[in-house]
Amino acid sequence: MARAAAVHGWPPVTVPEVTWEYPPERTFGDLSTTLSFALAKQVRRSPRDVATAIQQALDVDPTLVAKVEVAAPGYLNVFAANGWWQGVIREVLAAGSAYGRTSIGQGQRVQVEFVSANPTGPLHVGHGRGAALGDAIANLLEAVGYGVEREYYINDAGSQMRLLGESVWARYLEAQGRPVPFPDNGYHGEYVRELAERVAATVPGLPDAEAEQAIPACAAEASRILLEEIGADLRAFGVLFDSWVSERSLFDSREVEAALATLRAGGYLYEEGKAIGFRASDFGDEKDRILIRSSGEPTYFTSDIAYHANKIRRGFHRLINIWGADHGGYIPRVKAAVRALGHDPEILQVILLQMVKVLRGGAPVPMSKRTGEFVELREVVNEVGKDAARFLFLTRRSEAQLDFDIEVAKRQSMDNPVFYVQYAHARACSMARKAAEAGLPGPYADADLALLTLPEELGIMKYLAVYPEMVRNSAQAHEPHRVTTYLQELAAAFHGYFTKYKDSEERVISGDRDLSRARLAMVAAVRQVIANGLTLLGVSAPERM
């Protein structure tokens, strides 16, 4: 810009940071910038004149840049040289599974808390979507250099646990021929009858126990059994937690009491009769919140305050919570509590997750017979498999409702997104096997990549080149659906290339040994990037399908 200003006699200018965009059409180049618009006012020239002056003053490296064009009303469009795109293949093959990984997180500690379903029933498909999302976000953050801990918060205190105990106790007595009224708002479904049978077999003295002793015992044993099932379902889904934190433990360790003491010392608590409230409105919440009811029973918010204080005390730089979309109104009050405890509320980031509608061939799937209320995650995973479930759960933004069609997920065809991507990987592996049979085994580090000049080949290389940026952006935005979208687009480019040339002289393995090795290098790079992307999603990359 200094050279352009000197040539045209312009006054000195302050050059802002140059931002680049990907043009909507390839005829507009590979990168585009609107820098000239920002400079036009300073030099009192039109953006097009400024762009033309910059173009003429540029001293570009022809091995990196083929040409720079000016487009109305003042865009600078840059066309990368083929050699630059071809060099990306060497980068991918050299880095292998590390391609796309960076250290921008600098080891900062991040906690991702997700699923955290109450141990009062089985996991449903909504929990499955949250599990896939939380685990993929954790994978992405690890890929860009953060130290990540996955946590499950067990809501095992409060009224819902007593209600579980009452429900199990009622079903137990019913099975014994001693029916009692079922509790209002109790837990229904066949799984409660199953729990009653299992609890009866493991809790001694239950037949002779009085209700006040039996109900807590039923609650404790039933929640233990359910938590075991939840853990097993999550492991089958490929989700492993680093820590499980019990709500009850926060009371037992007096952390709830300590959090209340901190708020009281700051003058943020008030009394309303026998109830105790928190002045949440002082910190941006829409109203104040009761923490201790007049009965002396704490609200859920009370233990949530202690839980977040506990998280921060463990030294995390950032807390990411994944909640259901119906918890959006809860965010301001938790952030208010974090601030009142003396911490920056921006340490907490909440991702809201919309519901999943389960379909079969476009028609809604009936509720689970076992629960009578929802479709269980295990039923879906058992039918469609872990890979299909995880991939499809991650095909849309978290805040968008997801239609999950079981028949589509099971289909072994190109209209099934996960099959489409996995088949691209398997196809690349098949080409490698055929290459070995033809006497063209890898590695291909010395392949003459300058031979790769077909438009489809350059298109594939451009996809490979943007993979690291895509991973970084996905991690920073906490949006794994960008990975599924990218993989589908790369797979489409690869499948299209293979299909177009498979019966022509331009096929991957031909009579031209050097050209075949160059194309096999590109195929190996595609296979590696697809495998890397699927790993981020927690989905396998099969070598044969």
pLDDT digits (tens, 9 = 90+) for 421-463: 999 999 999 999 999 999 999 899 999 999 999 999 999 999 9
CB atoms closer than 10 angstroms to residue 517: 20
Tokens standing for 502? 């498979």
Instruction: List the CATH code of the domain at 2-80.
Output: 3.30.1360.70
Name residues whose C-beta falls within 8 Å of residue 177's C-beta, 6 or more positions apart in sequence: none
Summarize pLDDT for 116-169 with one digit per residue, the tens. 999 999 999 999 999 999 999 999 999 999 999 999 999 999 899 999 999 999
Of 538, 429, 428, 396, whose CA–CA distance to 493 is shortest? 428
Please give the pLDDT value at position 6. 63
- Stronger pLDDT, 89 or 84, i.e. the higher one: 89
pLDDT digits (tens, 9 = 90+) for 86-98: 999 999 999 999 9
Q: Using the predicted structure, report yes or no on whether residue 5 has a pLDDT greater than 70.
A: no
Most confident of 42-46, 158-162, 399-403: 399-403
Query: 97 and 139 in contact (C-beta within 8 Å)?
Result: no
The residue with tokens 């489809």 is: 456
CA 410 – CA 134 distance, rounded (Å)? 24
Per-residue pLDDT of 303-361, as tens digits, reads 999 999 999 999 999 999 999 999 999 999 999 999 999 999 999 999 999 999 999 99
Does pLDDT of 10 surpass 80? no
Q: Is the confidence at residue 72, as pLDDT, over 90?
A: no
Q: Is 9 helix (H, G, I), strand (E, B) or coil?
A: coil
CA distance 35 to 75: 8
Residues 6+ apart with CB under 8 A from 133: 114, 322, 351, 353, 393, 394, 398, 480
For 462-519, how does the pLDDT look when each residue is reduced to its tens digit (9 = 90+)? 999 999 999 999 999 999 999 999 999 999 999 999 999 998 988 999 999 999 999 9
Look-up of token digits 């795109």: 85
pLDDT for the residue numbered 268: 98
SS3 sequence of 261-325: HHHHHCCCEEEECCEEEECHHHHCCCCCEEEECCCCCECHHHHHHHHHHHHHHCCCCEEEEEEEH
What is the rounded CA–CA span in Å between residue 79 and residue 524?
25
Task: Report the C-alpha gap between 353 and 323 in whole angstroms.
Answer: 6
The stretch 196-225 carries a mean pLDDT of 92
Tell me how far apart the alpha carbons of residues 521 and 307 are, in angstroms, rounded to a whole number. 51
CATH class of domain segment(s) 109-153+240-353: alpha beta
**Mean pLDDT of all residues belonging to the chain:** 93
159 closest CA partner among 182, 180, 187: 187
Q: Does domain 85-104+413-537 have CATH number 3.40.190.10?
A: no
Sign of CA dihedral 179, 185, 190, 192: negative
Pairing of β 363-364 and β 348-353: unpaired
- pLDDT higher than 80, residue 198: yes
CATH fold match for the domains 85-104+413-537 and 109-153+240-353: no
Q: Which amino acid is at 336?
A: A
pLDDT of residue 59: 81
Residue 512 token pair: 């031209």
User: Can you point out the beta strands (E) in 25-170?
Assistant: 31-33, 65-71, 75-80, 109-113, 147-154
Q: What is the CA angle 482-431-100, rounded to 5? A: 30
Read off the pLDDT of each residue in 403-412 and give the average, rounded to a whole number: 93
What residues does 277 pair with on adjacent strands? 270, 290
Residue 36 confidence (pLDDT) above 90: no
**Full strand arrangement of the beta sheet holding 31-33:** 31-33, 75-80, 65-71
| Contact yes or no for 528/90 (Cβ under 8 A) | no
Cβ within 8 Å of residue 174, ≥6 positions away: 180
What pLDDT was estimated at residue 4?
63
Segments making up each domain of the chain, as ranges: 2-80, 85-104+413-537, 109-153+240-353, 159-236
Confidence of residue 1 (pLDDT cuts 50, 70, 90): low
DSSP H helices in 34-114: 35-43, 47-57, 82-95
Both tokens of 18, joined, read 């140059």
Bigger pLDDT: 49 or 109? 109
- What pLDDT score does 2 carry? 63
